[in-house]
Amino acid sequence: MSHRLAVLTMLAATLLWSIAGVVTLRLESARSFEVTFWRSFFNALALLVLLPALRGPQRVWQSIRDGGKTLWISSVCWSVMFTAFMVALTLTRVANVLVTMALAPLLTALIARFALGNWLPNRTWAAVAVAGIGIAWMYAKEVSGGDTRHVLGSVVALGVPMAAAINWSVVQHSRTAADHDLLPAVLLGAVLSALLTLPLALPFSGSPHDIGWLAPLGVAQLAIPCLMSVAAARALSAPEAALPALLEIVFGVAWAWLGGNEAPAVHVLGGGLLVIAALAANEALALRQRLT
């Protein structure tokens, strides 16, 4: 894949990821764990078809068999991401979830610093501080307003960047990752998420209308863009991959606003702008340093 095609592919993946919020707002009766179950279930079904088609059935099975501890840790992380994301969307505003998720690169940097001993440049420490102020602003307003549902949703959403940071750190620093294809971890994560949420989702209350939305959500919003991003990441540096992904916040909030009439609160916009500015500046400076 050429560099230009990789950038366009990452942008397309980001656009597909961003539709989750507006689709969730259109559901009639499916709630919380049932929404999560159906999304993970259809994601797993899609990957059961797509992965063997792309890699070959024998290679997929071999990757699962030989992936070892790293594969299963990555699978658990994917499961947490899939589950926490959708549960959070059913508890709080789309903007709250997306802004919280945007912390993943900074949490990854902090884990790399304190758990792995990696050196962090001053620009990253500054980004962590500014993003922390933005999140504190957003969370403090929710707490002071006494809306425990939004607070709980934001806390649940925090599980997504935490799991993403652990996943990246484990994969990047594992010898297994260098020798084996860990893409099947996405499939196993979807299966684990579906199995975990199934007992909590029963009895089902979702209407055929809801299932009609959740099926393409699992395929077009999750399975396909995950494969696209993995393919594009091979031709991009970390800053180049991170910057387009920030557009998920912009796209996602816009879809929820225009398609679901969910206008973001002022404190969410303010805190979100601080988080986006901190992340964008950090990644842009990293990219500039790499090119000079």
Q: Return the pLDDT at 175.
A: 56
| Residue 47 buriedness (CB in 10 A; 0-12 / 13-18 / 19+) | buried
DSSP-assigned letters across all residues of 172-209: HT-HHHHHS--THHHHHHHHHHHHHHHHHHPSP---HH
CA–chain centroid gap for 110, Å, is 18
Confidence bin at 67 (pLDDT 50/70/90): confident
Q: pLDDT-based confidence at 77, cuts 50/70/90?
A: very high
Q: Are the CB atoms for 239 and 284 separated by under 8 Å?
A: yes
Asked, as a colleague might, if the bond just before 203 is cis with ω within 30 of 0, I would say yes
Note the pLDDT tens digit of each residue in 213-262: 999 999 999 899 888 887 777 676 665 666 666 778 888 888 888 887 77
pLDDT at residue number 284: 77
What CA–CA distance (Å, rounded) separates 192 from 195?
5
Residue type, 111: I
Q: Residue type for 101, please?
A: M
| Mean local confidence (pLDDT), 174-186 | 69
Q: Report how far residue 97's alpha carbon sits from residue 112's, in angstroms, rounded to the nearest whole number.
A: 24
SS3 breakdown of the chain: % helix, strand, coil, rounded to 5? Answer: 85, 0, 15
Which pair of structure tokens corresponds to residue 162? 């935490």
Q: What does DSSP assign to residue 142?
A: H
> Across residues 2-15, what is the average pLDDT?
84
Which is more confidently placed, 99 or 1?
Answer: 99
Question: CB–CB of 87/20 below 8 Å?
Answer: no
What mean pLDDT do residues 126-148 have? Answer: 75
| Amino acid at site 40 | S
Confidence of residue 82 (pLDDT cuts 50, 70, 90): very high
Query: Which pLDDT belongs to residue 180?
Result: 63
Which pair of tokens denotes residue 261? 């009439």
Q: Reduced to 3 states, what is the DSSP secondary structure of residue 58?
A: helix
Beta-carbon-side half-sphere exposure of residue 264 (alpha carbons within 13 Å)? 25
Question: Predicted confidence band at 288 (pLDDT cuts at 50, 70, 90)?
Answer: confident
Among 148-152, 169-173, 189-193, the minimum mean pLDDT is found in 169-173
* 291 compared with 77, residue with greater pLDDT: 77
Question: Percent of the chain having pLDDT more than 70?
Answer: 88
pLDDT of residue 238: 61
Q: Would you place residue 106 in the very low, low, confident or very high pLDDT band (cuts 50, 70, 90)?
A: confident
pLDDT at 192: 96
Query: Where is pLDDT greater, at 194 or 63?
Result: 194
Nearest 10 degrees: Cα torsion 194, 93, 28, 258: -120
The whole-angstrom separation of Cα 189 and Cα 164 is 12
Residue 291's SS3 state is helix
Length in residues, the chain: 292
Cβ atoms of residues 249 and 98 within 8 Å: yes
The predicted model gives 139-166 an average pLDDT of 81
Cα 288 from Cα 92, distance rounded (Å) = 36
Q: How many Å apart are CA 80 and CA 74, to the nearest integer?
A: 10
Say how far apart CA 34 and CA 203 lie, in whole Å. 9
The overall average pLDDT reported for the chain is 82
